[in-house]
Amino acid sequence: MDAQAQHDNGLFGLDRHISLPGPLQLDGGASLSPVDYAYETYGTLNDDRSNAILICHALTGDQYVASNHPVTGKLGWWTRLVGEGLPVDPARHFIICINVLGSCMGSSGPISINSATQEKWGMDFPVITIADMVRAQAMLLDHFGIDRLHAVIGGSMGGMQALSWPSLLPDRVESAVIIASTARHSAQNIAFHEVGRQAIMADPRWQGGAYYQSDPPSAGLAVARMAAHITYLSEAGLTEKFGRQLQERDSKTFGFDADFQIESYLRHQGISFVERFDANSYLYITRAMDYFDLAEDHGGVLANAFAKCRNTRFCVISFDTDWLYPTEESRHIVHALNAAGAPTSFVELSSPFGHDAFLLDVPEMNRIIDGFLRAGKA
Amino acid sequence: MNAAPHSGLRPDLAIIAENIDDNARVLDVGCGDGALLAALKQKSDMDLRGLEINPANVATAVARGLSVVQGDADTDLGYYPNASFDYAILSQTLQTTHRPDLILAELLRIAGRAFVSFPNFAHWRIRLSLAVGGRMPVTKLIPERWYDTPNIHHLTVDDFRALVKERGWTVEKRWFLNKGRETNPANANLFAEHAVFLLRG
């Protein structure tokens, strides 16, 4: 990795930061300048720059796709897919993962510095969209000199980006892998996000987003995470893991402690989340997801969003127990891709883990992605 | 029939593979694990797509690098645009669909031509089995029993010909198989175990 980093003047490698002048024109009308990026790359860009794979992360994900997270110390979030001998392999691919616009791990977002005021943006940060995230990524790839991606891969919100990439920039994507995702946020999706946002904004510590000199709205953010986390798991999975089992006690306390294991688990999820995530970022990114409707800009006809995608190969994967972005949403994408004549593969995989399945051990998913990516090579 | 280049294929698929033009756009409806598509991919640079209902088969086909979509011929063909393929293929699947007549019409809407292969329920051995045994026949080609068979619309060569005539479609070519080998078309309704038709709308 060091040799590679030196070779590219430190542009490539682990834990990279760069600020590009921009401006980045945003869907909301504002423009961003400069644009900060935090990202990681793995593997070596080949001579004809044809082996680049962009991994897009989900709502609360980050650029540490295959290396340890600096705050939690945990393994990279997709080490089941990305790594030596895996479908996305640094021995063969040049892998890029960029902290998404609006997030809080080093790319431009509410906690980054507004160059006009030299203070953190807070709620002055412009509202962004999934397309803005994609255009920001493309701007960094321009800087890398990468015109065309061998593949763009993402799950959940990462899948929204992976789906938007060929729609916005059809000449720059050879293939796209969209996992456990959707082409639009449904009323139910928006509703769950609104619960989370209201929990944050109802926390007195939120202070209209201007909390960076004091305590963050951890209680509100934890509740937001708890509500969202339920949507990532299946009912059957919850029942199997927790059922009605009590937490380290023999009987109910007739109080409001975490009597049930599921309560204790959710509280833990909420508390550990606030250690690593910013509440304002959570507001901005959930907003971007709620605004996402790929058909909207194309007369309401999703197939039109893929009108120029006949030369991009698509692989769409859903999970049977995912009720956040159910298989029907993936089918909707696939029907539109078929109507547009784009070469498309689609499988609904079986897993007890609900929406989160894409991050977990699903050997069938790896087999499919491996074959799909290899088929793109002559 | 020269089946050498496709020797690993089921006989009806080998016939179809032999008779598809190079560089064609092909949709294989009910493509299974993608055996035919994989053979076609080796043959020439074609635009190949598949539709398959069984997820394990789809996973295998996609892992082979094929563009195969999990879906149901009865409900999903409507999403393909008119005349978007040169050939649609329906091998050993017609008899499993809810409305075979509508499926055939859809194939000929989506593609200029359609290959359709199916087991012939009027083969003499099946007739004999039913006539003498008085039970629903179970043969090598139709191995399931009446209660667990996916074949909900058994048909004969003559049934198929009658439907084609009634709908005004054209038979461009047809092949008949016995024990996996091409056989004389005379009295096919009695002597062919299996038929392959190439239709035009």
Q: What is the pLDDT of residues B86-140, one digit of tens each?
A: 999 999 999 999 999 999 999 999 999 999 999 999 999 999 999 999 999 888 8
Can A318 be counted among the known catalytic residues?
Answer: no
Q: Three-state SS across B56-121?
A: HHHHHHHHCCCEEEECCHHHHHHHCCCCCEEEEEEECCHHHCCCHHHHHHHHHHHEEEEEEEEECC
Q: Which residues contact B134 (CB under 8 A, 6 or more apart)?
A: none
Q: What is the pLDDT of residues A355-374, one digit of tens each?
A: 999 999 899 999 999 999 99
Q: Which two tokens stand for residue B85?
A: 């393929």
Are residues A349 and B70, on separate chains, in Cβ contact within 8 Å? no
A287 has pLDDT over 50: yes
Nearest CA in chain A to B54: A347
Q: Give the closest of A339, A346, A367 to B70, CB-based.
A: A346
Q: Whose CA is closest to B112, among B89, B78, B79?
A: B89
Are residues A349 and B59, on separate chains, in Cβ contact within 8 Å? yes
Determine contact, residues B119/B59, Cβ cutoff 8 Å: no
Q: What pLDDT band is residue A376 in, cutting at 50, 70 and 90?
A: low
Measured CA to CA, the distance from residue B52 to residue B32 in angstroms comes to 6
Task: Please report the number of interchain residue pairs, chain A to chain B, with beta-carbon separation below 8 angstroms.
Answer: 62
Q: What pLDDT band is residue B6 in, cutting at 50, 70 and 90?
A: low
Q: What pLDDT band is residue B54 in, cutting at 50, 70 and 90?
A: very high
Q: Which of A338, A374, A377 to mutate to test the interface with B (most CBs of B within 10 A)?
A: A338
Q: Is the pTM of this model over 0.90?
A: yes
